[in-house]
Structure 1
Amino acid sequence: MTTTQKTKITVKSIVDAPLEKVWDYFTQPKHIIHWNNASPDWHTPRAENDLQPGGSFTSRMEAKDGSMGFDFGGVYQEVEKHSFYSYIMEDGRYAKVSFRKVPDGVEVTETFDAEMENPVEMQKNGWQSILDNFKTYTESEAKLVRLHFEILIQNTPKEVYRMMLEKPTYEEWTDVFSPGSTYIGTWEKGSKILFVSLGEEGNQNGLVSKVIKNIPNKHIDVEHLGELKEGVEIMEGKEVEMWKGAHEKYTFEEKGENTLLLIDLDSSMEFDEYFTGIWPKALRKLKEICEIKHEKKSQIAG
């Protein structure tokens, strides 16, 4: 009887950051989606991670042009916080990631079983590129984290899209964020739009943005460009850099007669916890609005 020895591949990188930060940025989904790609034409739009023995993880990796994609996942075997973890991939291969303090920061080492379809060198280069992206992301000072929220609404994508954006109902559900919330402008592709909160003295404060994409009843992509302070548009400066280039995306997926509303947004680290707490409340309010109107419409039709 003979056994086949699996080829093991190892990649390493030294990250100039504290151990706790390196661990968090490597394991938290809100960070994983920013660095988990081997080349600029690929990205990870979504990740899930239950970091404990027996827990599972999944990263959705896709070509940015939408031509292809796949899920990469596995189940954790051992986990020692700030030290190492191991896991079994969905195809049965074993991998281990270790974190070790060194004079220049933290050495991150990944060792994994090679697969049989691609050359070993190609696999090593791909994993090393992803690890190099992680190093760049973690060492960078400017940070935007990607947040994801979703909710199932008992109404059609057309109606959810309409009620989410039309000013009367928009002001109703966004009042959760700040009383007096509204917008100035239109949702047409390429147009400028101001997201405004009216202060006690009627001053307009908020964000200066642009609608990058608007496919009615399907998808909206808004990019934030600057800030609005007391009615004045501020497009440059340290505070503006916190938001400049951040995106806010709404996706409306048809689920039978219902709509799965997906929200993906970039947030500065400073507002991470705030948005994590407030967005689900706003979405529940939007769901309530859409479903009440849907129920009334159904009663009238009946």
Structure 2
Amino acid sequence: MTTAQKTKITVKATVHEPMEMVWEYFTNPKHIIHWNSASPDWHSPSAKNDLRPGGSFITRMEAKDGSAGFDFEGKYQEVERHSHLDYILSDGREVQVTFREVPDGVEITEVFDPDPDHPAETQKNGWQAILDSFKTYTQSEAKLVRLNFQIEIDNTPEEVYRLMLERPSYEEWTDEFSPGSTYIGNWDEGSTLHFVSQGEEGNQNGMISKVIKHLPAKHLEIEHVGILNDGVEILEGKDVEMWKGAHEKYTFKEIEAGTLLLIETDSTMEYDEYFSKTWPIALQKLKEICERKGEK
């Protein structure tokens, strides 16, 4: 009498990028933390990966509201660069991941033993969702997503424009993003601005940006080109690449009620949810400032 073996589960995805990039993004913890989630309400705040036969890995997976979490961990049995990863999870289940170059990119196939405590279909959907998240992350240019917001303000475009940018009122409405928020520089087209959070002197952190287009009371566009870390400008490197090239566009349209302010802004996928919640709050603060000033 023989015991039937458990049917393994297989998920696949084709990533339209070179093998070197796919391998790097799949195995480097700096990238793993950005794509390793099956749904928007989960994330991976940390990851470690000793990529060698006998090496261990651990990725912390948590619900963003803090209600649940677990460690996804195991030990590598085989590691062949640009070819395959074989590992055993902490509960003894085996996983094989293969990377195969195809005409339009790299085909990734994951084959794993099912967890007997959960439905096979649920597990397949979860692993597929994570693999699809990896594909989206890897293929995304600069790993940016585009967000759009708008608000009607009972004041003229000229006044909304002025109050949005003048330092005292700017600091008031952008405080919603970061306490003590301000800028250093001016808004002239072609100029460089430092957007910073005011902390202890010499410890300013924030973004370095260039003014790409400036039509007063009509249109303003800036591009982020680097970061400030403890007051030091950083224009190259992995800490910059996630934000470099991100744009913010502001359009002021005159309407019967006053001004329609349109915002188009880029965000990394990591901060998508944060900005989706914070921008409307900040714009409501700007609306209150502009309408309060308009009453005087």
Q: TM-score range by the shorter chain?
A: 0.5 to 0.7
CA contact (8 A) 2:37 2:43 kept: yes
Under a length normalisation based on structure 1, what TM-score does the superposition of the two structures give? 0.55
Equivalences for residues 1-302 of structure 1 within 5 A: 2-143=2-143, 190-194=178-182, 207-209=194-196, 227=209, 236-237=221-222, 239-240=223-224, 270-272=236-238
Bigger Rg, structure 1 or 2: 2
Alpha-carbon displacement from aligned partner over 1:176-203 (angstroms, at most 9, x marks no partner): xxxxxxxxx89x7653424879xxxxxx
Distance 2:210 2:104 in 1: 41
Q: Displacement of 1:208 after TM fit?
A: 1.3
The percent of aligned pairs where both chains have the same amino acid is 55
Q: Displacement of 1:206 after TM fit?
A: 6.1
SS at match of 2:110: strand
Q: Displacement of 1:103 after TM fit?
A: 1.1
2:160 — aligned with what? Answer: none
Query: Which amino acid counterpart does residue 271 of structure 1 have in structure 2?
Result: G
Q: Displacement of 1:142 after TM fit?
A: 1.5
In structure 2, runs of 5+ residues without a counterpart are 145-170, 186-190, 199-203, 215-219, 242-296
Q: Displacement of 1:117 after TM fit?
A: 1.1
User: In the superposition, relative to structure 1, how do residues 274 and 39 fare at CA in structure 2: closer, same or farther (>3 Å)?
Assistant: closer
User: In the superposition, relative to structure 1, how do residues 133 and 274 fare at CA in structure 2: closer, same or farther (>3 Å)?
Assistant: closer
Distance 2:76 2:210 in 1: 46
User: In the superposition, relative to structure 1, how do residues 225 and 23 fare at CA in structure 2: closer, same or farther (>3 Å)?
Assistant: same
User: In the superposition, relative to structure 1, how do residues 228 and 105 fare at CA in structure 2: closer, same or farther (>3 Å)?
Assistant: closer
SS at match of 2:31: helix
Query: Which amino acid counterpart does residue 181 of structure 2 have in structure 1?
Result: I
SS at match of 2:127: helix
CA contact (8 A) 1:61 1:71 kept: yes
Query: Which amino acid counterpart does residue 125 of structure 2 have in structure 1?
Result: N
User: In the superposition, relative to structure 1, how do residues 67 and 224 fare at CA in structure 2: closer, same or farther (>3 Å)?
Assistant: farther
Distance 2:205 2:240 in 1: 20
Query: Which amino acid counterpart does residue 227 of structure 1 have in structure 2?
Result: S
CA contact (8 A) 2:87 2:94 kept: yes
CA contact (8 A) 1:16 1:139 kept: yes
Q: Displacement of 1:228 after TM fit?
A: 7.1
In structure 1, runs of 5+ residues without a counterpart are 145-184, 198-203, 212-221, 249-266, 276-302
Q: Displacement of 1:272 after TM fit?
A: 1.6
User: In the superposition, relative to structure 1, how do residues 68 and 273 fare at CA in structure 2: closer, same or farther (>3 Å)?
Assistant: closer
SS at match of 2:135: helix
SS at match of 2:129: helix
Distance 1:139 1:94 in 2: 28
